[in-house]
Structure 1
Amino acid sequence: MTHALLVDFQIHPERAEAFAEAIAHNAQRSLGDEPGCSRFDVCRDPADPGAFFLYELYDDPAAIEAHLAAPHFLAFDAMTRDWVVRKSVRTRVLVGA
């Protein structure tokens, strides 16, 4: 059963470009280094450059836990933590997968 991780970020305006680069790198590493990650899309609101939405697909809850423990994710999280105004994380199960 495929699990979706849905993440909304609101980033301080002065850090939005740096965050865009950091999250793109994190997505690339997640797809390349994590066998349980099959999709990692980064979306950005054109009307609000500090608003980001992530759509990530993982094989199972263990793959999500592996992602959260991955060195590249931990480095990303530590580097960007103070740039975040607001963050929302939800998980869902993909229907029909």
Structure 2
Amino acid sequence: MIRIVKLTMDPARSAEFEALFATRQEAIRHYPGCSHLELWKDRSHIGVYFTYSIWDGQDSLDDYRHSPLFADVWAAIKGWFTGKPEAWSLDDRTPHLP
């Protein structure tokens, strides 16, 4: 399952957010059920980020979202948002070659 989350931050907090993400990314990437994690930065809008992650399924994502790791990250950044986070859970339907 692919998960994309749009995070709209106070532009003054952008560097702080990127630094925090850098310190937590490996822990999130190695969380059980997560096989991939990237942080993308919008080229036109300062403070707009997207996380792109791949999970074994909804249960794995839910386990992470109820974990102390998620709670720690969320507590640190929730006051930095200038817009409501938006999230999409998607299935990859791209035909893959053997």
Question: Normalising to structure 2: TM-score of the pair?
Answer: 0.85
Q: What secondary structure, in the 3-state scheme, does the structure 2 residue paired with 1:85 have?
A: coil
* Offset at residue 67 of structure 1 (A): 1.2
* Offset at residue 27 of structure 1 (A): 2.5
Q: Which of 42, 63, 67 pairs up with 1:70?
A: 67
Q: What secondary structure, in the 3-state scheme, does the structure 2 residue paired with 1:40 have?
A: strand
Q: What secondary structure, in the 3-state scheme, does the structure 2 residue paired with 1:94 have?
A: coil
Cα-to-partner distance string for 1:31-76 (whole Å, 9 max, x where unaligned): 12x1200011100123333010111100011110111022121101
Stretch of structure 1 that moved more, 76-85 or 13-22: 13-22
Root-mean-square deviation (CA, aligned residues, Å) is 1.6
The structure carrying a bigger strand percent of its residues is 1
User: 2:12 is matched with which residue?
Assistant: 14
User: 2:81 is matched with which residue?
Assistant: 84
Structure 2: 5+ residue runs without aligned partners?
Answer: none
Q: How many residues were matched structurally?
A: 94
Task: Supply the distance in 1 between the matched residues of 2:37 and 2:22 (Cα, whole angstroms).
Answer: 9
User: 1:28 is matched with which residue?
Assistant: 26
User: 1:57 is matched with which residue?
Assistant: 54
Are residues 1:44 and 2:41 paired? yes
Amino acid at match of 1:29: A
Q: Which has the larger radius of gyration?
A: 2
